[in-house]
Structure 1
Amino acid sequence: MRLTAQLEVPIYNDGYPDMYNKIHPGFIGVSQTVRLPYNIWGTLTVGHFSSERYGVDMKISHRFIRDNRFGIEGRVGYTGAAYWDRFTCHFGTQKKMTWSVGGYFYWPQYNVETTMKLEQYLLGEKGVRIDIIRHFRYASIGFYAMKAQGAKSNGGFRFQIALPPYKYRRRGYIPRFTPSRNMGLAYNAGNEQYYYKNYRSSPGDNIMQSNSFNPYFIKSELLNF
């Protein structure tokens, strides 16, 4: 079980409301990951997420035993709107259901992962999304495309990088302050500002972290070390 607590310290405000100038919490949540029979992994998270959402999120994934290059995954969330004004949380009582289901294929020779999902977003629109991601030791870079009912097609690129330095030495009981190992960005090439909205349940909920336990990726890194 993991407890996540994040504190956001604003440095520069590029036109956002005044409440974003104040120090306030970010992610706050408790998550539990379990391994179920038939090589099924599940994670349940409760707390305050990104995109100013709070609620419950559950993820399930399964990598096929006969061919680990293929797998299926699903996700469902039940969340409401919530935002922080300093350390006071204002939240709404209306909840919305979001979900995602799909499959993926991993190409070990080039560490390329392709996923295709059917999803329902925060406004209730349903759509399809395709991601093609190339994983490196300290970065994951790729492209995405999506199309939902009642919305124009959208897409762009996304990347996740680990900030240097990459190795640390422990000195007794002195705490270590380290930069993020998963600094991410998604570029919205279609300039869509209304549809396709979703959330992340924790800072580690990203493409680089989810691939870190991939046996093919681990093997390739050991061979190139």
Structure 2
Amino acid sequence: MLGMNAQQLKEELGQAGFENVLINDGEDSLKILFEYREFRQPAHSMRYASLVLGREMEEANNVTYIPQYHNVPMGSYSGGTYQFNALSPQHRDYFRENNQVFKNYRWSFRLQPEIVSRFGYYEDPFETKFNIILDTRIYLARGLSLQTGITVPVSNNLDNHGMKLRAAPSMLHYFAQPVNSHFISLSAGTFYNDRYGLDLEYRYARLDSPWSFGLAGGVTGFYRLYGLEYYNEPMDDLYAVADVEWRTGIEHTSLKLTAGQFLYEDKGVRLDLIKQFAAAELGLFAARTENGTTGGFQFAFALFPGKILRGKKMELRTTEEFRWEYTYNNESPVAQQFRIGMPRLADLLRNYNEAWINKLIN
């Protein structure tokens, strides 16, 4: 087995920062299951694993990588070619029998900024709110986790949120792939954009296909924290949208069309053009709804330096994904969705597509 036994492979990967490492050493193949939370791109995680274990791993056709996300296997990628294959019943059985949620994860603390800006007012042309969030994710069961932390205000001339230390958005997440290519995400708690409530996403995405389809819905309400003081309004804001996304095959760009009822009972459509880069993602969008017409851009990338401190049981790092969006219409919330504590399914699964994995690795 390429010079190392299963325990040695597991120890090498664990020392390099991989978590929940499982080694399935068959007679004619080697399957490596792992999670690596520092990188946005699973391709970088698989490349890093091959470098940690030795250059021969990268070209070994009998090696299969099975990356996980939030304690859920995503699919298998063959060493050498990195061809995608859906999870087999054997893969699922092996993971279910050997997965140990409480034992195989570090206590990971994550630093990330929260930035909200508004431009164009004559008296105060640049209004912004800037916070630093320190949060953590605690795995409770397969696919089930609790995210919580603290928000440290740095500056604010945008709203009346104040400058008191307060709890960060805190929520329960359930993420699963119950059947190959079918993904669900359920969140309950307090979210970003001053929302609290329930959020549900479903997405059909074959990770070797240019097409994917999604549904999202939820019920939310407004909430506000002033230090330890809490205020909320009724949870009666319904939203429900559907989308279709197509990888164009041109320079790794995607087109995504979303339609339905967004936040604040705002009905309409939104079109996104998304370009993937090795270290970032950049998107342009336009929307037309009952609240008006708008356009803007968004981007996402991992924050430097990644790992700050790491031990066997604990680590401190910067966030694997900082996402920010600007819209030129700052008066009315046009085609707006709120942020939850993990990427939206479309943004997450885009990085696991076979074409994109091969672009980054080969």
Q: TM-score normalised to the size of structure 1? A: 0.86
Aligned to 2:286: 145
Match 2:296 to one of 153, 156, 174: 156
206-215 vs 42-51, greater mean Cα deviation: 206-215
Aligned to 2:149: 6
Secondary structure of the 2:305 match is coil
Q: How far has the Cα of 1:194 moved from its partner?
A: 4.0
The 5 A counterparts of 1:175-214 are: 175-205=314-344, 209-214=348-353
Q: How far has the Cα of 1:34 moved from its partner?
A: 1.7
Aligned to 1:60: 202
Q: How far has the Cα of 1:210 moved from its partner?
A: 4.4
Q: Distance in 1 between matches of 2:289 and 2:148?
A: 33
Secondary structure of the 1:201 match is coil
The 5 A counterparts of 1:1-225 are: 1-17=144-160, 19-37=161-179, 39-64=181-206, 68-108=209-249, 110-149=251-290, 151-166=291-306, 170-173=310-313, 175-205=314-344, 209-223=348-362
Task: Tell whether the 8 Å contact from 1:154 to 1:192 is kept in structure 2 after alignment.
Answer: no
Aligned to 2:24: none
Q: How far has the Cα of 1:14 moved from its partner?
A: 1.7
Name whichever structure is richer in helix by fraction. 2
Q: Write the deviation string for residues 154-198 of structure 1: whole angstroms up to 9, x where unpaired.
A: 01111112112256784444x332222212221212344344333
Count of equivalent residues:
219
Taking a change above 3 Å as real, the CA distance of residues 208 and 98 of structure 1, as seen in their structure-2 partners, is: closer
Aligned AA (1:146): A
- Percent identity of equivalent pairs: 20
Taking a change above 3 Å as real, the CA distance of residues 136 and 43 of structure 1, as seen in their structure-2 partners, is: same
Secondary structure of the 2:234 match is strand
Secondary structure of the 2:355 match is helix
Task: Tell whether the 8 Å contact from 1:139 to 1:208 is kept in structure 2 after alignment.
Answer: no
Q: Distance in 1 between matches of 2:250 and 2:286?
A: 24
Q: Write the deviation string for residues 29-76 of structure 1: whole angstroms up to 9, x where unpaired.
A: 1111122336211111111011111111100000258x6101110100
Q: Distance in 2 between matches of 1:94 and 1:37?
A: 32
Please, which runs of 5 or more residues in structure 2 have no aligned partner? 1-143
Aligned AA (1:211): R
Aligned AA (1:60): Y
Q: How far has the Cα of 1:107 moved from its partner?
A: 3.3
Q: TM-score normalised to the size of structure 2? A: 0.55
Q: Distance in 2 between matches of 1:26 and 1:119?
A: 29
202-211 vs 25-34, greater mean Cα deviation: 202-211
Secondary structure of the 1:216 match is helix
